[in-house]
Amino acid sequence: MRIVVPMKAVPDLVEEIEITADGTGIDREYLKFVLNEWDDQALEEALLVKEATGAEVVALGLGSDPDIDASLYTAIAKGADRAVRLTGAGEVPDTATRARAVAGYLRDHPADLVITGVQAPDDLDGQLPATLGALLGHPHVSVVVSVALVTDPPEPPAVRVRQEFAGGRAAELVVDLPAVIGLQAARQAPRYAPISRIRQVMAAGGIEQVDPGLAPGSATGASGLAVRRMHAPEKTSHAQMLTGSADEVAGQIVDLLRSRGLVKG
């Protein structure tokens, strides 16, 4: 069994985000990029499936993503068997182009299971799992919190997944392979790889480069969409900020609660 985990670098949301001068994009120049946290969850779940079944895990990144190599090497250090970097999708590919690049790769190098993060917080979120499913003609399920290979009976090959809804409700589904899963959270917190091990892997190199050629079709039609303007949300309201030393702020908070009868005395 072959599991592919697409990974994406996204701006670190703790950083200040600047809009470009023309107002239609974000200024990427000074942004710090980190691995999408949900991709780390997806990789963890894939590694758990590997441990249970001996599956091969392939970490997949887009060459144009800043610092993606570090994430791919880390994936190998954690237990992925191979890492692949896709070339040729352009500098800052839009969602549709990205999806078609990943779909193009998967068409030439089929996977039994694709586990993506449920969403990436940067652009129009959460589209890749469903887009890939539709482009490849595979069943797909998103907002999943566990994936296990069905071993009883072994035919046809399938996974059992748990899909989450609001209020902690969930459904257990059996999905025939090949399938695409959007992962919300792995069964356990993502593992760490020791820095020394990551360094070793980096020194050995070995990220495979593949130019996938774009899969045909206008994925999500997103390419036709014109972003007119980006802006920070207009603050219809903003918190009144409490300042001073920690003790002074604590005093103000206690007073606020006391004035509402929430603190006695």
Ligand X SMILES: Nc1ncnc2c1ncn2[C@@H]1O[C@H](COP(=O)(O)O)[C@@H](O)[C@H]1O
Contacting ligand FAD within 155-214 (CB under 6 A) = 184
Residues 6+ apart with CB under 8 A from 211: 86, 87, 88
The Cα–Cα gap between 124 and 45 comes to: 24
Angle between helices 95-108 and 128-136 (to 10 degrees): 50
Q: Which CB atom, from 213 or from 217, has the smaller least distance to another protein?
A: 217
With binding defined as CB under 6 A, does residue 220 bind ligand FAD?
no
The Cα–Cα gap between 183 and 143 comes to: 6
With binding defined as CB under 6 A, does residue 71 bind ligand X?
no
With binding defined as CB under 6 A, does residue 47 bind ligand X?
no
The alpha carbon of 204 is separated from its chain's Cα centroid by a whole number of angstroms, namely: 26
Closest C-alpha among 99, 108, 112 to residue 179: 112
Q: What is the DSSP letter of 26?
A: B
**In the complex, minimum distance from the CB of residue 50 to another protein, in angstroms, rounded to a whole number:** 20
With binding defined as CB under 6 A, does residue 143 bind ligand FAD?
yes
Q: What is the DSSP letter of 191?
A: P
Binding mask 90-119 for ligand FAD (x = CB under 6 A): ----------------------------xx
With binding defined as CB under 6 A, does residue 104 bind ligand X?
no
Q: Which CB atom, from 100 or from 140, has the smaller least distance to ligand FAD?
A: 140
Positions in the binding site for ligand X (CB under 6 A): 6-8, 36, 38-39, 42, 61-62, 65, 95, 98, 116-117, 119-120, 123, 125-128
